[in-house]
Structure 1
């Protein structure tokens, strides 16, 4: 029995859909008028009855029924160069006009199909029907248009209110600034100053004691002989985690009159160390500190100098320390 919705090519026996005009393998026309008589088997050993030849009537072709709108093209389809119909890749001849598909153009497969292949249609058991999707495409498009228009109207109304109502504008600006600060707090580290409670040095010149490096004044400075390695010890009233420092080296008013530290070797109370290099400039320079978590004091050893041609002392105007806010 012939399957429902299937036609069988009388020339090559290929099966095709009922709405196909031409065979996809041999290109033979499938829509002929008239019905073929069923063949009956002849018993062995007998001769079939003689039948007078009847006048043969040439079958007539029906006119091709071309739909008003061609079916949509799918990725991988072969586009007929004669009528433009999309054919499945397995066909060799167009299902509408019978033209050869040997030189047919193939519908391009979208790039994203390489990563997200098309889902295979679910095979249903015999006697079951596919479930209909709720709603139609047109209904969904109408809902989408309504939503877009509603959003557009809301944006326009909000803009008008923001421009014409000062209290509302002030409230919105306040909220925006607050949100910006919150975001900045998440992605940008905030710092707090750390003040030492005690500062001592291995040596210091008169009127230029060690405490002057942390008095928040750039016109004062600590100085000592530059003939040997000098060190400063800063002590805190609690455990700290230093992350940043602002350093002013030399004597601000007369920068070239003394040696300036080129490299500092930091030794924390926890036993950890960190080396710090400084640029030879009179301006304040910001540097990063590491390895200080849990320290209650830090030693700053001056292990290298930017040399002066005018004096023999080494000087530091100011050191400001900072830790990350918790």
Structure 2
């Protein structure tokens, strides 16, 4: 270590800028001379005010360097600096926001060096683990070997899963079954509920409103599409509806009548909910919300999938389910 004549700070002799104040130390025309600190007499070094160089340092060719974990990478010239420096040793730039060299993930996984204790710590003091003998060392070696085997097995399993379709299918099937079992524990059980009465504000001859809840797919409720057809379901107890299964249209001739596109539900509690239906003859499962405590619900047909053949709107069946 030497003391720089220009600023009075102490540091290594092979750097171009002071690590404390950032002063350039090696002008071409006036090369600074590093004065060695006397051994016999301790010298108190007073920090100097940071001084910016008045001219740019000479350009130098890039040199190879070995970066170690914890080194500070200069954002201006890319040189690695020890963590104790405040300014770059090559260009003098501030290292306040420099990038820190990190240890590679694979080194952290497969190598774990000895723990460095802080000043004042020693094994067995204040929770610091004591050194162990041969048995402890053997256990650590076994633990390292087990971790490496597990890591290799995980990598091989991932490769087999990605490349071998039967293995991937078996894993997916097992995962789906496990997920179904887990979610089944937390899902609310739903029970079918039938209305005690079904009425409609409009209906075509031979197709009254109660046919939407007769548990038959070959019958249907039909009403003129003029205005706003409404079905009213009345229950004999307060319900908390969670799901509906809807069969739209005329079951025997799907294109013979309009199909509902949107059903606006108005519950006896005053709350509402909209069910949006696809234009398909297949059964559709639609979630229901906001119905807790309702004793009746009105189903307003407010949107249609239109037919080219018929003039009425038709619904074959509506099945309702409440929380159990």
TM-score range, shorter chain: 0.5 to 0.7
Give me the whole-angstrom Cα distance separating, in 1, the residues matched to 2:309 and 2:212.
22
Give me the whole-angstrom Cα distance separating, in 1, the residues matched to 2:143 and 2:70.
30
Give the alignment of 1:31-110 within 5 angstroms: 74-75=71-72, 86=82, 89=85, 101-102=90-91, 109-110=99-100
Give the alignment of 1:146-185 within 5 angstroms: 146-151=142-147, 180-185=179-184
Give the alignment of 1:157-306 within 5 angstroms: 180-185=179-184, 191-204=190-203, 208-226=207-225, 229-306=228-305
1:183-220: CA deviation from partner (whole Å, max 9, x where unpaired): 42478776543332332333545654433212333222
Unaligned runs of 5+ in 1: 1-5, 38-68, 95-100, 113-128, 158-174
State the TM-score, normalizing by the size of structure 2: 0.52
Change beyond 3 A, Cα 1:245–1:141: farther
Aligned residues: 246
Give the SS at the match of 1:213. Answer: helix
- Say if 1:258 and 1:310, in contact at 8 Å, map to a contact too: yes
1:11-69: CA deviation from partner (whole Å, max 9, x where unpaired): 5683537xx5679676535569x9899xxxxxxxxxxxxxxxxxxxxxxxxxxxxxxx9
1:102: how far off? 4.3
Give me the whole-angstrom Cα distance separating, in 2, the residues matched to 1:261 and 1:91.
74
- Say if 1:22 and 1:30, in contact at 8 Å, map to a contact too: no
Give the SS at the match of 1:181. Answer: helix
Matched, 1:16 2:10: yes
Matched, 1:132 2:122: yes
- Say if 1:223 and 1:316, in contact at 8 Å, map to a contact too: yes
Change beyond 3 A, Cα 1:8–1:303: closer
- Say if 1:221 and 1:318, in contact at 8 Å, map to a contact too: yes
Q: Who is 2:314 aligned against?
A: 315
Give me the whole-angstrom Cα distance separating, in 2, the residues matched to 1:35 and 1:280.
95
1:298: how far off? 0.8
Change beyond 3 A, Cα 1:252–1:141: farther
State the TM-score, normalizing by the size of structure 1: 0.52
1:251: how far off? 0.9
Give me the whole-angstrom Cα distance separating, in 2, the residues matched to 1:263 and 1:296.
22
Unaligned runs of 5+ in 2: 26-31, 42-65, 103-118, 154-173
1:197-247: CA deviation from partner (whole Å, max 9, x where unpaired): 332333545654433212333222123455564332212233222233222
1:303: how far off? 4.3
Larger C-alpha radius of gyration, 1 or 2?
A: 1
Change beyond 3 A, Cα 1:212–1:16: same
- Say if 2:2 and 2:36, in contact at 8 Å, map to a contact too: no
Give the SS at the match of 1:298. Answer: strand
